Structure 1
Amino acid sequence: MSMKRQSQDDSKSTLDAGSSEDKRRRSLPSFSSVITEVMNMSKVQHFMEPVLEPLIRKVVKEEVELALRKYMTTIKRNCGKDVFACELRSLKLKFLDLISPPVFTGTRIEGEESSLKVALVDVLTGEVVCSGPESCAKVEIVVLEGDFDGDDGDNWTADEFKNNIVREREGKKPLLTGDAFLYLKEGIGWVSDISFTDNSSWTRSRKFRLGARLVDSFEGISVREAKTESFIVRDHRGELYKKHHPPSLSDEVWRLEKIGKDGAFHRRLSKERVNTVKDFLTLLYLDPTRLRNVLGTGMSTKMWEVTVEHARTCLLDKKVYLYYTSVSGPKTGVVFNIVGQVMGLFPDCQFVSADKLSETQKACIHNKYEQICFIDLFFFFIYQS
């Protein structure tokens, strides 16, 4: 009896298992139906994408803008005036010229091209502010430490600028003399006749800068100060003895390098009536050996080369002189410039420049004409001057 019941139970279990398997198989989609469904979904996505994407972007944009407006409203409510400080119009002063070196005490400060100019510039656009009340503002010129600089060379606070202003030494006159204030006109102002009363050797960097700051203030506008490049200021007495580059013909001979005013070389040249750069060049071209002997052994070969090179940088006029050596027979003229330098020959009414002369012709000039040219021309040039 029990064996029969067990047999019935086993067969029932087998039937149940078979029916479950059949149901699972019927519930699974076929491969072809899966492919068809994927293709249909792809078509829907391709069709809906151009419609949904702009709509989604618009919704996201509106939500972001709304969130930003709420955030800014909250900030303004909590911070009050601090927010408006962030919304100031940003301007800056700017020097439009480089300072022309060298700078001496008591000498007017100039720009490299003309008078020193200051402009009011919009920080964002870089353009000069030529309208509005700020374009006519009052500006003060101050002296700054030569090593004053911002974090990146163009970024500093008003306090940092103020703390780097240089004042005169105790017992001295104000560091700047003249009118240190100017008014902008259409955003640009010209620095008037100002000069230093003291040199820069006593400062920590041994240099100065000029600074410019706005005296007037305008609500809703922040203006950053300006500064020049650093430069050395020397005492005025240094200008009295400085060399000229290039020298001029009328300069006193001690303006040449290696010849000091009232020094040994200067005194020796004066005894030989070589008082100007023109005299020096004339003797150099007519009789260089004599000039070298006048200066003596105290002037080394290196010093001699430096002096001569400096003298030759002198700017000469275009006047030339023609000298004939004989009255009878074929005439051959020698052409000289204002300082006696041979420019060429004039044989048979045809000019031959010095660079085209043969070695024989050059030797002829130096041998045949040397003494007579020196005697006649040297005194002729003295008479002409």
Structure 2
Amino acid sequence: MAAKRFFNDSKSDQDQPPEKRMKPRPSFASVIGEVVMVNSLHNLFSSLEPLLRRVVKEEVETTLRRHSHTITRSPSLRIQALEPSSLRLCFSKKLSLPIFTGSKITDMDSNPLQVHLVDSDHPMVPIVLQHSIKIELVVLDGDFPGDSETWTGEEFNNKIVKERAGKRPLLTGGDLTVTLREGFAQIGDIEFTDNSSWIRGRKFRLGAKVVPGSYQDTARICEAMTEAFVVKDHRGELYKKHHPPQLEDEVWRLEKIGKDGAFHRKLTTAGIKTVQDFLKLSVVDPSKLKNTLGIGMSEKIWEATIKHAKTCTLGTKLYVLRKHNFALTLNPICQVVRAEIDGQIYVSRDLNSIDRRDMEKLVWEAYNTWSSLQEVDGALNETALITQVETMQQYSINPQLEMVRSFPQNGYITDVEFGLSNCNGHVGYSGWVIGTPNIENTINYCISDASSDGN
């Protein structure tokens, strides 16, 4: 019966699902064997660890001793260990701003850039090395180095700006790597290919550093960098103001007058197309010029535009209005230089003896017939005019005239006030200046309000 029950029990176990079948239990002997094996391996590793550590340490020290002389001699492996030095690179002058893409980068005097090697304690004296070194030009982030005046070579390299993905190299030209000899290196034609609007600070700097391997000394030469600046797209150069403006420039080159803007359109409609046209009317009739610009031309904007216009260089050309009994000589912006009436020459202070109404009519006629005036070179007659001015000043006996300002060096004759008791108003125009470009002393011949009412 017992055997039968055993048979029946086995058969019932086979009928059970696989997941419900009893898994065989490991024997006690196998468990004891595994524990003994793990303990043996642990003891073995514990015994080998000190031995392995000692062997690895000895091998590392042997390798370092074997190659230590190579590390000492190799300049490429000791860049970060260079000793501090007072030697530094510097740019000789500031940059000419603004800078546009595709335009040659020059210094503030429109000359090629130069990099000098100097001592920090004596920055004005270039240092001459016994051998030449290579200098590389790079573009830096304009926010570097912040408020710090010192930096490491690694910090400098980390702030070098590369071109955007898919763009040309940010800085191009034939002289991105130059040779420094006799204490300086001259940089040729270089230009930016991209603007600076895409970096966080929106500004770049130009940097110069020594090419690794070209300087064998143990002292580090500190890198040079320019001031931070904006690089604009070359399309903006088409709308750039000129400093100083030229007589033949279009009038929108003046400050506060935008190209195709309201002021530009009003001036063009009135026939004022160039800086010279603007200056002539500002001398002859400033009120008419302001009325042409309209109420949008505030006093502050007017002063800024006039100030910029007055930096214009006049050159040496003079213009002569000739009639049967007189000749009136004017500079390019309609200011009187010399008058000859009935064979008598009037220069400098002697012009106050001419009737103001007559002078005003002559100037207005010259202004209105400008294209028909005779053009002469004032430089040829400058010596004679200076002699005449000095002679008239020497023998002048009119106590009412007192000159208070001299002619500026840029050739523009500014509005000058004199002690004339009957010259209080300037409604008709700002006054006639007697003089010529490059003559130091000038006389302002004022015309009163009443004298301009008839014109």
TM-score, reference length from structure 1: 0.65
Q: CA deviation at 1:101?
A: 1.6
Q: Does the 8 A contact of 1:93 with 1:223 survive in 2? A: yes
SS of the residue 2:345 aligns to: coil
Q: Within 5 Å, which residues of 2 pair with 1:312-323? A: 312-323=310-321
CA distance in 1, matches of 2:358, 2:303: 26
Identify the match of residue 356 of structure 2 among 362, 372, 385: 362
SS of the residue 1:248 aligns to: coil
CA distance in 2, matches of 1:382, 1:262: 33
Which position in structure 2 is the counterpart of 1:204? Answer: 200
Which position in structure 1 is the counterpart of 2:154? Answer: 159
Paired AA for residue 208 in structure 1 = F
User: Which stretch of structure 1 is more off in the superposition, 281-290 or 228-237?
Assistant: 281-290
Which position in structure 2 is the counterpart of 1:189? Answer: 185
1:380 aligns with 2:372: yes
Given the superposition, is the C-alpha separation of residues 222 and 262 from structure 1 closer, same or farther in structure 2, using an over 3 Å criterion?
same
CA distance in 1, matches of 2:234, 2:193: 9
SS of the residue 2:229 aligns to: coil
Which position in structure 1 is the counterpart of 2:256? Answer: 258
Paired AA for residue 164 in structure 1 = K
Q: Within 5 Å, which residues of 2 pair with 1:261-272? A: 261-272=259-270
Structure 1, unaligned runs of 5 or more: 1-79
Q: Does the 8 A contact of 1:93 with 1:213 survive in 2? A: yes
Which position in structure 2 is the counterpart of 1:295? Answer: 293
Paired AA for residue 233 in structure 1 = V
Q: CA deviation at 1:286?
A: 4.0
Paired AA for residue 116 in structure 1 = L
Which position in structure 2 is the counterpart of 1:177? Answer: 172
Which position in structure 2 is the counterpart of 1:311? Answer: 309
Q: Within 5 Å, which residues of 2 pair with 1:97-246? A: 97-113=93-109, 114-122=111-119, 128-133=126-131, 136-149=132-145, 152-153=148-149, 155-179=150-174, 180-217=176-213, 218=216, 220-246=218-244
1:343 aligns with 2:337: yes
Q: Does the 8 A contact of 1:96 with 1:119 survive in 2? A: yes
Paired AA for residue 241 in structure 1 = Y
Higher gyration radius (CA): 1
Q: CA deviation at 1:254?
A: 1.4
Q: CA deviation at 1:87?
A: 6.6
Q: CA deviation at 1:248?
A: 0.8
Structure 2, unaligned runs of 5 or more: 1-70, 73-77, 377-455
Q: CA deviation at 1:313?
A: 2.5
TM-score, reference length from structure 2: 0.56
Given the superposition, is the C-alpha separation of residues 112 and 161 from structure 1 closer, same or farther in structure 2, using an over 3 Å criterion?
same
Q: Does the 8 A contact of 2:334 with 2:363 survive in 1? A: no
Q: CA deviation at 1:186?
A: 2.9
Q: Percent identity?
A: 46
Given the superposition, is the C-alpha separation of residues 167 and 194 from structure 1 closer, same or farther in structure 2, using an over 3 Å criterion?
same
Q: Does the 8 A contact of 1:241 with 1:261 survive in 2? A: yes
Given the superposition, is the C-alpha separation of residues 381 and 200 from structure 1 closer, same or farther in structure 2, using an over 3 Å criterion?
farther
Q: CA deviation at 1:256?
A: 1.6
Q: CA deviation at 1:157?
A: 1.1
CA distance in 2, matches of 1:192, 1:373: 49
Given the superposition, is the C-alpha separation of residues 129 and 304 from structure 1 closer, same or farther in structure 2, using an over 3 Å criterion?
closer
Q: Does the 8 A contact of 2:252 with 2:264 survive in 1? A: yes
Query: Higher helix fraction: Structure 1 or Structure 2?
Result: 1
Q: CA deviation at 1:339?
A: 2.7
Which position in structure 1 is the counterpart of 2:247? Answer: 249
Given the superposition, is the C-alpha separation of residues 356 and 312 from structure 1 closer, same or farther in structure 2, using an over 3 Å criterion?
farther
Aligned residue pair count: 293
SS of the residue 2:136 aligns to: strand
Q: Does the 8 A contact of 2:320 with 2:374 survive in 1? A: no
CA distance in 2, matches of 1:284, 1:97: 37
Given the superposition, is the C-alpha separation of residues 237 and 359 from structure 1 closer, same or farther in structure 2, using an over 3 Å criterion?
farther
SS of the residue 1:183 aligns to: strand
SS of the residue 1:223 aligns to: coil
> Deviations for 1:221-279, whole angstroms, at most 9, x for unmatched residues?
43222222222222222221111122111111211223222233333333444322222
Paired AA for residue 362 in structure 2 = Y
CA distance in 2, matches of 1:360, 1:229: 56
